[in-house]
Amino acid sequence: MKLAILLLFLVISQLATSNGMDVHLLRPFSGVGDHPITGVSCTSWRFAVETNNLRGWLTVPSTCEKYVGNYMIGGYYRQDSAIVVSEAIKYAKALNSSGDSNNIWIFDIDETTLSNLPYYAQHGFGVEPYNATSFNAWVGKSMAPALPESLKLYEKLLSLGIKIIFLTGRSEDSREATSWNLKRVGYHTWEKLILRGAGDKSSAVVYKSAEREKLVKKGYKIVGNIGDQWSDILGSPEGNRTFKLPDPMYYLS
């Protein structure tokens, strides 16, 4: 596992460097570049993003591209993810939920269960507008690696008898590719894999809230919910406790 992760980040680093992004694997950028509108540092910009104070943004500011790239590929992203998952595991272990077959934990997929860093290393770490054609082509390859921290949480939850629900904004026509990708990187079993239906144009908050409501009506108890976007965890029902992973590369409402 450790060797595979090291090789992954070496490949990402090489891809990013070959595209002229100057992303250094072990030397995160200082983040002193100014946001073109607010004039604040990129570190402050990322803080506003992660706390959901900055909303509705479409792309990462061009002056923050190197900072975001180095954050994602360097050690800080993994460290931030690790502390979130550490708290999630601590909470799950305290539930004492053995014997309750209706307990579920909801996982988002992109930048939560699976990491699309190889894709973003070639597409500017959020500075380019979302391109559905190129991203869907990437999804179809089923090559996204697992976010190691989320895989650790997944394995712990299964050992505690908590069922897993994957709830993603990916479209239904990517079910086969998504299922194969999940299994290939270690997510070998789940209760449900829920994808967005054809023609569903609702916002992420509306769509995911509605799907969680359906699960509750079927008798499931959402003991935990984790995602990289605020829209993964906001809306009713949220679940007994929510966990937000870092992601300064894009915003979904």
Tell me if 252 is assigned to some domain. no
Asked whether 13 and 23 are in contact (CB, 8 A), the reply is yes
Average pLDDT over residues 184-194: 98
**Quick one: DSSP state of residue 64?**
G
Tell me if 134 is assigned to some domain. yes
Pairing relationship of beta strands 221-227 and 103-107 according to DSSP bridges: parallel
Number of domains in the chain: 1
In the structure, what pLDDT confidence band is assigned to residue 23 with cuts at 50, 70 and 90? Answer: very low
> Could you list the residue range(s) of the whole structural domain that residue 224 is in?
2-244
Give the closest residue to 61 by CA, choosing from 74, 42, 75, 48.
42
**pLDDT of 117 above 70:** yes
Tell me if 101 is assigned to some domain. yes
Distances (CA, A) of 129 to 49, 118, 207, 217, 226: 17, 17, 22, 37, 25
Tell me if 154 is assigned to some domain. yes
pLDDT at 101: 86
pLDDT at 74: 87
**pLDDT of 128 above 70:** yes
Q: Could you identify the residue written with the tokens 């540092």?
A: 41
The reply to whether omega before 148 is within 30° of 0 (cis) is no
Lowest mean pLDDT among 20-34, 74-88, 90-104: 20-34
Burial class (CB in 10 A: 0-12, 13-18, 19+), 90: exposed
Give the closest residue to 84 by CA, choosing from 249, 231, 245.
245
In the structure, what pLDDT confidence band is assigned to residue 11 with cuts at 50, 70 and 90? Answer: very low
Q: Which CATH number characterizes residue 191's domain?
A: 3.40.50.1000
**pLDDT of 26 above 60:** no
For 148-187, b/e burial (b = at least 16 CB within 10 A) is bbbbbbbeebbebebbbbbbbbbbeebeebbbebbeebeb
Tell me if 153 is assigned to some domain. yes
**pLDDT of 99 above 70:** no
Give 15's contacts (C-beta < 8 A, 6+ positions apart): 118, 121, 122
Give 217's contacts (C-beta < 8 A, 6+ positions apart): none
Tell me if 214 is assigned to some domain. yes
Tell me if 186 is assigned to some domain. yes
Average pLDDT, the chain: 88
Tell me if 253 is assigned to some domain. no
In the structure, what pLDDT confidence band is assigned to residue 3 with cuts at 50, 70 and 90? Answer: very low
Average pLDDT over residues 125-148: 97
Asked whether 215 and 86 are in contact (CB, 8 A), the reply is no
**pLDDT of 231 above 90:** yes
